[in-house]
């Protein structure tokens, strides 16, 4: 599995922390920026990650901005991206298990290391449940095709 990460300035510290956690687990990480906490526009980075993740199997993403709202809205404009704004481990599990979310989005303000670590660990160990959930995810894919070609 390859993990693509990005943030804006408000989510930069969180992205760097998540990158460190993923690398400790010896996972393949691609940091798409930014390289510092200098002010940038979140849609540019949300699109970068969403395009990489939607391009093929074996790809997951992580995004962060101040609240996570802008990043999730931006990423979800890319067909095939299923970005889930998550604030609890329970939401992380449900996003993966029920929605086959392929991009984890977490708000960078406030940034609580313990909470983020728990969310990330649940996200990483949870797979898609399939079954009745597969039918629903297929309907999401159908909406992508219907409204975005």
Active site residues: 65, 98
User: For the purposes of burial, counting CB atoms within 10 Å of the CB of 8, is it exposed (0-12), middle (13-18) or buried (19 or more)?
Assistant: buried
- Six token digits for residue 54: 């939607």
CB 49 within 8 A of CB 61: yes
- Helix pair 89-99, 113-125: axis angle to 10 deg: 20
Q: Within the chain, what is the greatest distance between any pair of CA atoms?
A: 44
């Amino acid at each position: 599995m390859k993990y693509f990460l990005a943030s804006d300035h408000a989510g930069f510290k969180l992205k760097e922390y998540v990158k460190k956690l993923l690398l400790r687990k010896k996972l393949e990480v691609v940091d798409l920026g930014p390289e510092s906490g200098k002010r940038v526009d979140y849609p540019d980075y949300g699109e970068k990650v969403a395009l990489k993740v939607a391009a093929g199997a074996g790809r997951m993403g992580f995004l962060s901005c101040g609240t996570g709202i802008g990043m999730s809205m931006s990423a979800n404009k890319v067909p095939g991206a299923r970005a889930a704004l998550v604030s609890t481990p329970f939401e992380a599990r449900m996003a993966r298990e029920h929605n086959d979310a392929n991009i984890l989005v977490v708000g960078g303000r406030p940034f609580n290391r313990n909470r983020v670590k728990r969310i990330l660990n649940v996200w990483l160990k949870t797979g898609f449940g399939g079954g009745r959930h597969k039918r629903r995810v297929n309907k999401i894919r159908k909406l992508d095709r219907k409204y975005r070609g």
